[in-house]
């Protein structure tokens, strides 16, 4: 089934209104186009990213922030009118979302930011933010009776898809670069996915996945290509607004922070964060848009470079960052990512890999959040932005951890150090104490 085919047989959810190309502005009726607009960018090879729009007047008649807050289901299911699904029953039977917004008092003291919060999405079922999008992918694939859902991923999106698909009994094929961390590949195999380790980069795996889906009729979950993945990712903004209002005893049931920091590779997550807050602002449920800060590694700076130069489409780079989840040569969702920063008055922040790895420790030791390098990058970006004067002491700031540190134990051990070898005797422990080896 091609990207321009008409799919009138698919009954779209009532609240989805149109799909609009962010490059050429053309609008499509729901079901009239599958993934991307066929318009071309100036570079000549990229297809137009679509944005899903909703009938917000109708949505406001069936739900509101108070109903969402009181819903007994803490998962993304409580947001179903704002999602491209027919109802919460369409979602896989594995709850996604409802992750904690942590007040981190010791980290606040360490940073001098008294209103700092950590949104820990490493506590999702497959231990990453990507579960939010994968839940939508599985729901839509099953609504279309697709035999297989496929994706290209450096690890987290694939693991999320594998977990959600296993819960729903959906077959999956995953394309990963051979450099993907073993812990992430292990998740895919355990959940029963067919894993194709591509002898090449993430970008080459992405292109192969796209071709295979078009050739064999598989449902393509890949970030930046499937417009509905943004819709799953935006749910983090709904949760932040609800949780922030509740924990700060705000007068309204939803509250927007002043700034949000998130690591960026393809750009789909920050695009989703932006979309979520835009939804809330359109509905009148929050009174302002937070500034969004995208954090990139200096070894994968394509979107940072485009932001600095004012370009619409980033020039590809040769990505080589240790933060594999954000290691991308040519970002697949650049328009949404750049809009997220430019339209909110935020910024892209560049950090070195060393700073990313070192950020793992304070997050864990002062915030009790064990983050993989990509998650720690967001915190490293906050520290850099603080030094650059981009945020101020009294502002309410949310840092999103996008993945658990268990995803990349090797990186954690590199900065945390090794265990102390000791004989099974009290004398051996006393000797280590006298040497100062057990001091912290």
For the stretch 79-100, pLDDT in tens is: 999 999 999 999 999 999 999 9
SS3 121: helix
Please give the pLDDT value at position 295. 98
Average pLDDT over residues 280-294: 98
Please, which residues have CB within 8 angstroms of residue 27's CB and are 6 or more apart in sequence? 18, 19, 20, 21
The backbone region for 345, taken as left when phi is positive above 0, alpha when psi lies in -120 to 50, beta otherwise, is left
Least trusted range by pLDDT, from 5-19, 166-180, 225-239, 371-385: 5-19
Residue 152 in tokens = 């290209």
d(CA 409, CA 190): 18
Pairing of strands 347-351, 397-401: unpaired
Q: Dig out the tokens for 272 from the structure.
A: 């989703």
Task: Specify the pLDDT at position 12.
Answer: 54
pLDDT of residue 3 exceeding 80: no
Segment 228-246, tens digit of pLDDT: 999 999 999 999 999 999 9
Q: Give the residue-averaged pLDDT of 318-332.
A: 92
Q: How far apart are CA 322 and CA 393, in angstroms?
A: 30
CA separation for the pair 82, 141 (Å, rounded): 18
What is the predicted pLDDT for the residue at 47? 72
279-296 average pLDDT score: 98
What's the confidence (pLDDT) of residue 42? 44
- Of the candidates 97, 324, 98, 138, the residue with the CA atom closest to the CA atom of residue 229: 138
Measured CA to CA, the distance from residue 426 to residue 440 in angstroms comes to: 20
Weakest-pLDDT range from 286-300, 342-356, 405-419: 405-419
Other residues' Cβ atoms within 10 Å of the Cβ of residue 208: 16
Sheet of strand 171-177, all strands in order from the earlier edge strand to the far edge: 194-198, 171-177, 148-152, 219-220
Residue 354 predicted with pLDDT over 80: yes
Question: Sign of the CA dihedral 100, 105, 107, 108?
Answer: positive
Could you tell me whether strands 148-152 and 171-177 are parallel, antiparallel, or unpaired per DSSP bridges? parallel
Tokens of 363: 């997050």
Owner of token pair 């990505």: 319
Judge whether residue 45 has pLDDT over 60.
no
Please name which of 336, 113, 343, 369 lies closest in space to residue 228, comparing C-alpha atoms. Answer: 336
**CA–CA separation, 17 and 54 (whole Å):** 5
CA–CA separation, 68 vs 144, rounded Å? 28
437's torsion region: left (phi>0), alpha (psi -120 to 50) or beta?
Answer: alpha
Average predicted confidence (pLDDT) for the chain: 93
pLDDT of residue 151 exceeding 90: yes
Q: Indicate the pairing of strand 148-152 with strand 219-220.
A: parallel
Token pair 């490059």 in the structure block, residue: 23
Query: What pLDDT is attached to residue 185?
Result: 86
Give the Å distances, CA to CA, from 212 to 174, 208, 410.
Answer: 11, 6, 33
* Nearest-5° Cα angle at 215, 213 to 219: 25
- C-beta separation of 346 from 259 below 8 A: yes
């Amino acid at each position: 089934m091609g990207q321009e085919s008409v799919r009138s047989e698919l009954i779209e959810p009532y609240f989805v209104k149109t799909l609009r190309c962010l490059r050429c502005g053309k609008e499509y009726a729901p079901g009239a186009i599958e993934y991307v607009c066929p318009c071309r960018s100036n570079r000549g090879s990229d297809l137009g990213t679509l944005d899903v729009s909703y009938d917000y007047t109708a949505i406001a008649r069936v739900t509101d922030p108070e109903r969402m807050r009181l819903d007994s289901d803490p998962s993304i299911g409580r947001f179903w009118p704002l999602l491209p699904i027919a109802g919460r029953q369409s979602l896989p039977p594995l709850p996604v979302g409802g992750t904690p917004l942590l007040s981190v008092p010791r980290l606040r003291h360490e940073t001098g930011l008294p209103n700092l919060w950590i949104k820990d999405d490493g506590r999702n079922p497959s231990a990453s933010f990507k579960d939010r999008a994968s839940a939508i992918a599985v729901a839509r694939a099953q609504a279309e009776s697709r035999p297989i859902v496929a994706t290209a991923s450096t690890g987290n999106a694939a693991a999320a898809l594998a977990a959600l698909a296993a819960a729903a009994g959906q077959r999956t094929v995953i394309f990963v670069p051979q450099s993907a961390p073993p812990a992430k590949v292990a998740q895919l195999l355990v959940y029963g996915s067919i894993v194709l380790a591509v002898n090449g980069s993430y970008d080459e795996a992405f292109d192969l996945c796209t071709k295979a889906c078009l050739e064999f009729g598989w449902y393509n979950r890949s970030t930046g290509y499937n417009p509905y993945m943004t819709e799953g990712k935006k749910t983090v903004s709904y949760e932040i607004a609800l949780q922030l209002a509740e924990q700060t005893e705000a007068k309204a049931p939803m509250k927007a922070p002043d700034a949000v920091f998130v690591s960026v590779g393809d750009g789909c997550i920050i695009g989703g964060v932006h979309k979520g807050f835009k939804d809330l602002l359109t509905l009148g449920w929050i009174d302002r848009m937070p500034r969004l800060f995208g954090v990139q590694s200096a070894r994968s700076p394509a979107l940072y470079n485009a932001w600095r130069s004012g370009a619409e489409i980033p020039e590809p780079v040769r990505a080589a960052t240790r933060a594999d989840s954000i290691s991308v040569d040519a970002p697949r969702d650049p328009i949404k990512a750049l809009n997220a920063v430019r339209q909110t008055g935020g910024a892209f922040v560049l950090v070195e890999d060393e700073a990313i790895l070192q950020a793992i420790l304070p997050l864990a030791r002062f915030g009790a959040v064990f983050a993989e390098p990509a998650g720690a990058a967001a915190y490293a970006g906050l520290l850099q932005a603080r030094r650059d004067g981009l945020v101020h002491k009294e502002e309410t700031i949310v840092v999103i951890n996008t993945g658990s540190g268990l995803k990349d134990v090797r990186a954690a051990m590199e900065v945390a150090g090794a265990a102390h070898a000791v004989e099974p005797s009290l004398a051996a422990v006393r000797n280590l104490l006298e040497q100062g080896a057990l001091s912290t």
